[in-house]
Amino acid sequence: MTYNKGGDFVAIMKKKIYLSTLILTFIYIILSLSITVINISVNKGLLSGGMPGAKTMALMLSGIISSFMLIVAIMITVCSNANDWKASIGCQVFHLVQMLVGFVSTKSIRSLPGVLVIISGMCITILIRNYIMRLREDEVNLGKKAYTDLLTGLPNKRALQKKLNYLEAGNREFYLILLDINNFKEINDVFGHEKGDEILVFIADKWTALKTSENYQLYRIGGDRFAIIAETTNEIEAENLCGEAIVTLITEKNSLDAVISTSAGCVFYPKNTENISELLTYADTAMYKAKIAGKNQYRKFDSSMLTQIESQNNLSQEIKTALSKNKFHLVYQPVYYLGSHNLKGFEVLLRMEDAEGINISPEKFIKVAEKSSLIYEIDMWVIEHAIQETLPLFKEDADFSLTINISGKHITTPGFGDKIINLLNRYPSFPKEKLVFDVTESSYVQDIETAKKALDKLKFIGCKIALDDFGTGYSSLKYLAKFPIDYLKIDKAFIDKMNEDDFFVRMIITLGHLFGFGIIAEGVERQDQISALNHFSCEFVQGFIWGYPIPVSGIKELLSSQEIERIDTFF
């Protein structure tokens, strides 16, 4: 229905333009004939015996009509969007011929100004036509850019959505294949973003070469993600296409000699869903199943995967409810000075319960929230409530740091730093220098400049920055010097393996000290880990061995039982 309405609209507009051009052309001809009649009357002396000045008035009227004709001629070109510019030129040529015939027959130079006006009008018409045509070309080029990925030259996500809508309107059957490059971030981190772009172009070329018919179209829909629309009902053909896309990357040599692989998810319309808006979600779910299964393979969407989608949707709704009705709550895990066992501060941890009062794993609900804008609301909720809960303690001259985790997705959004500052300004008595914002390696690599600007703003007002899970990502060491980092946090995975191999822990501590960072070991649970970390000169620890997460009501009691060392001792 949408496309029929669109076609009717275009037809109506074309009809109106044609009718407008026809009317303007008719007006032009009538005016032209009017001037001819006036000129004949003047030349034959038909007006000489009448009212005084009639001849002069007739000539003035002729000039006015000529000027109006010029406007009409230009309007014909403009109203038709330069499509009927030849009609405008034709009308002016018709008038020019009339003027020249009059000039030849009467030998009067009174016609010459009119001739010059007509010639000028023709030149103006041609100039306007050329200008409109250039505008139309620019419009077409802009339209192409809007639907084209500038790096690879492939159609982009907007073009994909347009194609999906078109296929839906035509009740066409097709397969949508979503492809994601495995561990592409490693390529960007190791070789740089320019080389990463070269690989993306390489991948686009290789997958485009798989095209065997007009029923196949490749799209780049963002980052290292591609999509294929295969207009076929043959399941084997679609599966072969997935397999070829995967095998091509493994077997084809690239400029970096890097190992490239992909995972793919495949969904069939309308068998798997008749809702176009669900197709990408279903393909994405199937693709992640392929990643979980070991990557470098594909999965077809099936009804059993709906349970996972439904579960995520339900959890997303629970998160919205928790935000609107304050169903979240905070706990605070102590962080200690390793050497003295004195309390340094607390890391703020978010907890959420379902409708039955059962705790939901933060890893589970945060992962769902990060797929939408809910994570932004969660971050701001945590920051504000942590400030509200601990502000009374700081007003009593309590001295401890407060570490708050920030989503990697959030920190790279424009205006993040200003949003945090505006929030803190609502609590002027809260000591900003006690705040430590905890970010992960992956958070700033996605958009280095945006992340750096945000962190610089937070540092400027006195906040500190901790780099979480250091060593688990692939970021370059240059980022450690470039970003305003105060602490490195060693991931629990390295702490757990210290008995087998303590090389990475020693390396991180040594590296951190070279940059002047404080080192925080996470997830410390055994005395032998405490001894080793103390030997390696690690400054701070947090973990169950010295303290479990506690509610805000337990902070005052813990503070009173500790001899607090000032936070800036290390610095």
Query: What would the DSSP string read from start to end of 483-547?
Result: S---EEEE-HHHHHTTTT--HHHHHHHHHHHHHT-EEEE-S--SHHHHHHHHHTT--EE-STTT-
Amino acid at 194: E
Q: In terms of Cα–Cα distance, which of 372, 369, 327 is closest to 351?
A: 327
Run of H or E including 101: helix 85-106
Q: How confident is the model over 40-66, as a mean pLDDT? A: 55
The DSSP bridge partners found for residue 525 are none
What's the mean pLDDT when you consider all of the chain? 79
* pLDDT tier at 7, thresholds 50, 70, 90: very low
353 pLDDT higher than 70: yes
Amino acid at 457: K
User: pLDDT tens digits for 110-135?
Assistant: 566 666 667 777 777 777 777 777 77
Q: How confident is the model over 381-399, as a mean pLDDT? A: 92
User: pLDDT tens digits for 186-231?
Assistant: 777 677 778 888 889 999 998 988 876 678 899 998 888 999 998 8
Q: Does the global pTM surpass 0.75?
A: no
Higher pLDDT, 72 or 147: 147
d(C-alpha 399, C-alpha 384), whole Å: 19
